[in-house]
Amino acid sequence: MADVSDLVEARLRSALGEPDARASVTFLGTERIDVLRFVDGDLVRYATLGMSAAPMTDPAAALADPERGPRAELLLSVRAGAARTDEVLRPLAVLAASPQVEGVVVAPGSSLDVGEPLWPDAPFTSVLVAEPGGLVGDLALDPPLEPVRFLPLLPMTPNEAAWKRVHGAAALEERWLSHGTDLRDPLRAAVALTD
């Protein structure tokens, strides 16, 4: 079977076109994570490459299975030109390395926090992991390997992240929807969290 990262890159290119930039980040004791940038009109899309090379393992598991377990890559879409969003490359690589470094399983509904602004002057330090399947479809791999899922990331302000911890991901997404929040605006304010 072909290398998983090669298959993932081919899927990203078929869904998003040719990337116009690539950055690589390596953390001590981990495999390299690439972040690809795709420009689509007034949107910039960032996609990780390398997170899915190994399956994510439940930190409570006694032994990591080298083949079985969920695999994913991360996608972030923002409007171009309003902020220096290209500086999100390192934070995205940090998030993509978290399964290897911290033993977390990244799944829809979970929150990921980098502890600093995602890019200069960003009002966001964390993201909500959304449901896959909209922009880039799952990539099936030969059994027993699970498919690679492409998980969209929705930036959250600290207040939104705190509200989500209390009320849940679905409630926050409903609030964004009901208020017409532009989740691709790199400088947006927090959604109203009280009625």
The predicted structure's pLDDT at residue 2: 61
The predicted structure's pLDDT at residue 1: 46
Going through the chain in order, the beta strands assigned E by DSSP cover 21-25, 33-40, 43-49, 71-79, 111-113, 126-129, 148-156
The predicted structure's pLDDT at residue 62: 61
pLDDT tens-digit readout, 110-153:
999 999 999 999 999 999 999 998 889 999 999 899 999 999 99
In 3D, which of 35, 55, 17 has the Cα closest to residue 135?
A: 17
pLDDT tens-digit readout, 43-67:
999 999 999 998 998 766 666 677 8
Asked if 153 and 126 count as a contact pair (C-beta separation under 8 A), the reply is no
pTM: 0.94
Please determine, for residue 6, whether its predicted confidence score (pLDDT) is greater than 90: yes
The predicted structure's pLDDT at residue 63: 67
The predicted structure's pLDDT at residue 8: 97
Please determine, for residue 38, whether its predicted confidence score (pLDDT) is greater than 50: yes
pLDDT tens-digit readout, 96-115:
999 988 888 999 999 999 99
Residues 6+ apart with CB under 8 A from 190: 123, 157, 159, 160
pLDDT tens-digit readout, 71-100:
999 999 999 988 999 999 999 999 999 998
Cα–Cα distance for residue pair 174/90, rounded to 1 Å: 30
The predicted structure's pLDDT at residue 25: 85
The predicted structure's pLDDT at residue 89: 92
